[in-house]
Each structure stands twice: as C-alpha cells, then as structure tokens.
C-alpha cells in the first residue's frame, strides 16, 4: 500500500492551494481547513507561519 502524499491543490485554491491540498489529503472540506488556519492565526500567529512554510515546502502535483 502506497503512502498518501500531500500536494498543493491546483483546482481548490484561494491563494496558494495549501488549504485545498490539506483538505484533499485529510478528506475534509477545504473551508474547514481554512477556518482552522484562521483560528490558529488569531490564537497566537502560528497559522500564518504554518501556511507560509507549507506554501514553500509542499510540492505541486504534476
């Protein structure tokens, strides 16, 4: 069984496709992932930092 990998979404994106990719990986709606990132941002700033790191590190699906 092959391990699932996370990719930036090419179709479900508002800025970079991070939330869409995480949503596809976790099999949840990307809106829920966006809300979690926003909450993490307002509750200490970690959400924005995590989003930027994922934008730089997570590959695009080719």
pLDDT at 60 over 60: yes
37 domain residue, yes or no? yes
Helices (H), 1-62: 18-26, 30-42, 46-57
**Residue 3's pLDDT is what?**
56
Q: How far apart are CA 5 and CA 7, in angstroms?
A: 7
4 domain residue, yes or no? no
Residue 29 is part of which domain span?
Answer: 18-57
**Residue 34's pLDDT is what?**
92
pLDDT at 62 over 80: no
- Tens of pLDDT, residues 1-56: 445 888 888 888 888 889 999 998 998 999 999 999 999 999 988 888 998 999 99
Dihedral pair phi/psi, residue 3, rounded to 5°: -75, 140
Whether the predicted model's global pTM rises above the 0.75 cut: yes
Give how many domains the chain has, as a whole number.
Answer: 1
pLDDT greater at residue 57 or residue 13: 57
């Amino acid at each position: 069984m092959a391990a699932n990998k996370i990719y930036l979404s090419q179709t479900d994106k508002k800025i970079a496709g991070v939330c869409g990719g995480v949503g596809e990986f976790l099999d949840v709606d990307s809106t829920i992932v966006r809300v979690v990132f926003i909450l993490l941002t307002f509750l200490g700033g970690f959400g924005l930092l995590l989003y930027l790191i994922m934008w730089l590190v997570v590959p695009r699906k080719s």
